[in-house]
Amino acid sequence: MTMTNEDTATARALRGLEHGDASVRLRTAMAVGSAPDARLVDRLVERCATEPDFSVREMLTWALTRHPQALTVPRLVEELRSEHPQARSQALHTLSKTGDRRAWPAITLALLADADDEVARTAWRAAVVLVPDDEAPGLAAVLAGQFGRGGRDMRLSLSRALIALGAAARPALDAAMAHAEPRVREHALATEELRRNPDAGFESAVEEAKRRVALGAYGQEA
């Protein structure tokens, strides 16, 4: 059977996405995004799960966003059930870039509390983009339930997600600032401080939160 020019281009792209040189994979992903080919959607998603180079992963995501959402969104939602953390994380990242709110029901509590920090952080970012307005307060409550989790980058990601929810996060944030656990209270206070004064930076917000928690422990007002 004679291959058409289109078949040849698809075969070339498939080889390029598997090439040992990251620069070749990057150029291939860029070419696929510039000339979308529905036959490559599955392979682009699969490659996201294993691609070791960050720049290439970003280009794969861009290439996927150039294809019809009717093809990409269902495939990405399916990938959220993968046992491989990178597959889940990159699928969430790509869904957030599509902005297609039909994917919202797939952002489960399990993903928002994923044991893998990078998956959880990406789920928070995706959820903030995709959540319907009337479900934003519920999302805020779920996110606030993870105050105090992880190190500096993890805590900053959670704070940014809650701040991005705006007024919908107010009840959950207020409750967390009065929490009995100092670590939770400190993170919530830092989030509020960052919301009020974003230019001061997260480290400054954390230090102010620590001061307020310490004063509160002695019954003094901040």
pLDDT tens for residues 146-189? 999 999 999 999 999 999 999 999 999 999 999 989 889 999 99
The pTM (predicted TM-score) of the whole model is 0.88
**DSSP code at position 178:** T
CA dist., res. 105 & res. 107, Å (int): 5
Enumerate the domain spans of the chain. Answer: 9-130, 136-222
What amino acid occupies position 46? E
Rounded-to-10 torsion of CA 144, 148, 152, 153 = -40
State the CATH class of domain 9-130: mainly alpha
- pLDDT > 50? residue 218: no
For 130-158, b/e burial (b = at least 16 CB within 10 A) is bbeeeebbebbbebbebbbbeeeebbbbb
pLDDT tens for residues 73-105? 999 999 999 999 999 999 999 999 999 999 999
**DSSP code at position 3:** P
